Amino acid sequence: MTSYPAIRVRSGAGAPPRRPDGERYRFELIDGGGRWRVYADERTDLVAELIPGYADLDEPARSDARRDGLVGAQILAQARLAADTSRCTPAQREVLLGSRETPPVLDEDWTAPVPLVLITGFYAPLGALPRPGGDVIWLDSETEESYLRALRLTGMVVLAERV
């Protein structure tokens, strides 16, 4: 199958666009607010629409960009889960509600009554930090597919694939 560049359109702009050969695109990605849609045949093209400059990066830099690109989704997901921290200890609240400029480092498994949302790329075996166990929701940044799945899991995007 020939691949064509991604197309971004404003939602509500009419029928989904078709490729120059008249066929439908393989993927449709809708931003979580429903403002725009991206149509593409390759996951790389979808990710490039979400991360500025992604197409020009080599794979190690792309991996870092995907990892860093999930921080906003992580913050949003954690905020939803941490709406009620009344049963958490002060130390647990500090981790749940703390800044994500640097990822949290835990000395033990996470046992708070609220799950902790973390990004795989910062923790072993992919990253340098020790990987905690316990009630952790992992957002996976390792591949383009897992990056898009993590964004979908957190509600940042809706993704459909034509098979």
Question: What are the pLDDT digits (tens) for 7-34?
Answer: 999 998 889 999 999 999 999 999 989 9
Same domain? 75 vs 52: no
The DSSP result for 104-122, as a single string, is: ---SS-B-SSSPEEEEGGG
Q: What is the pLDDT of residue 8?
A: 95
Answer yes or no: do 50 and 104 share one domain. Answer: no
Instruction: Give the range of the structural domain holding residue 75, as residue numbers without chain letter.
Output: 71-140
For the chain, what percent of residues have pLDDT higher than 90?
91
Q: Are residues 132 and 95 in the same domain?
A: yes
**What rounded mean pLDDT belongs to the chain?**
95
